């Protein structure tokens, strides 16, 4: 279950309220970043060069969620900066979205050794960080990318398990504590780099996501 979202205090004009809300989000994100940087809930942090909380617009309507940082992400401290990240940037641009107007993160914030899939206990240890991040951003759409991220998000929101081939590109409306949220599963960009069929599906799904955001 996601933790309750604390409302911001509204004072003065509506412009002042917006500024206060943005300031509150930034402060809470910085606090979360400090907590992730000092986290010892599992063993992954001991081998990480950088913990990768995520980056983007804290007021974004959509949050993209991958599995875990890879080597490039571990070195830079930023999500999706390798070849999969370059493809994601291109897909966003083609769908009239941009990296600086969305938020990108991972289920696990530290790189697993050898880029292996995170173990269940590692995902569970890190899941609170993702939940707090979502509470800060309060997105209208959560787009998990790849089997691992989809499985985690589906489980957290009580969605029946489904294979990615059936689930991708199909919006699922669920209830979060801040309101209705659309879960929009996607193939992981890394899986589409050398698979033209998957790339075509991912391109179409990103366009569907862009159109969905217009109507959400």
Find residue 167's DSSP bridge partners.
none
Q: Is residue 67 part of a domain?
A: yes
Find residue 123's DSSP bridge partners.
none
> Could you tell me the residue range of the domain that residue 113 belongs to?
14-215
The per-residue pLDDT for 216 is 64
Percent residues over pLDDT 70 in the chain? 90
The per-residue pLDDT for 159 is 97
Q: Is residue 90 part of a domain?
A: yes
Q: Is residue 186 part of a domain?
A: yes
Q: Is the pLDDT of residue 13 over 50?
A: no
CB 162 within 8 A of CB 144: no
Q: Is residue 96 part of a domain?
A: yes
Q: Is residue 9 part of a domain?
A: no
Give the confidence band of 119 by pLDDT, cuts at 50, 70, 90. Answer: very high
Give the Cα separation of 36 and 57 in Å (integer): 19
**What is the CATH classification number for the domain harbouring 194?**
3.40.470.10
Split into its structural domains, the chain has a count of 1
Over the stretch 23-45, which tens digit does the pLDDT of each residue have? Answer: 799 999 999 999 999 999 999 99
* Residue 101 CA to its chain's centroid (Å): 13
Mean pLDDT of the 168-192 span: 96
Q: Is residue 99 part of a domain?
A: yes
Give the confidence band of 19 by pLDDT, cuts at 50, 70, 90. Answer: low
Give the Cα separation of 195 and 198 in Å (integer): 5
Q: Is residue 3 part of a domain?
A: no
Give the confidence band of 11 by pLDDT, cuts at 50, 70, 90. Answer: very low
Over the stretch 51-77, which tens digit does the pLDDT of each residue have? Answer: 999 999 999 999 999 999 999 999 999
Average pLDDT of the residues of the chain: 90
Q: Is residue 8 part of a domain?
A: no
């Amino acid at each position: 279950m996601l933790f309750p979202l604390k409302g911001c205090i509204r004072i003065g004009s509506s412009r002042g309220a917006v500024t206060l809300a943005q300031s509150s989000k930034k402060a809470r994100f910085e606090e979360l970043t400090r907590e992730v940087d000092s986290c010892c809930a599992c063993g992954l942090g001991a081998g990480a060069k950088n913990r990768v909380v995520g980056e983007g617009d804290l007021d974004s309507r959509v949050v993209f969620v991958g599995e875990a940082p890879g080597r490039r992400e571990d070195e830079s401290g930023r999500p999706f900066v390798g070849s999969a990240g370059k493809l994601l940037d291109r897909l966003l641009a083609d769908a009239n979205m941009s990296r600086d107007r969305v938020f990108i993160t991972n289920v696990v914030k530290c790189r697993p050794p050898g880029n292996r899939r995170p173990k269940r206990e590692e995902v569970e240890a890190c899941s609170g960080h993702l939940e707090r991040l979502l509470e800060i951003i309060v997105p209208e759409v959560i787009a998990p990318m790849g089997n691992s991220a989809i499985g985690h998000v589906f489980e957290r929101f009580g969605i029946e398990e489904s294979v990615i081939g059936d689930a991708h590109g199909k919006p699922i409306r669920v209830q979060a504590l801040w309101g209705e949220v659309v879960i929009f599963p996607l193939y992981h960009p890394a899986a589409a780099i050398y698979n033209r069929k998957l790339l075509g599906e991912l391109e179409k799904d990103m366009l569907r996501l862009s159109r969905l955001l217009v109507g959400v």
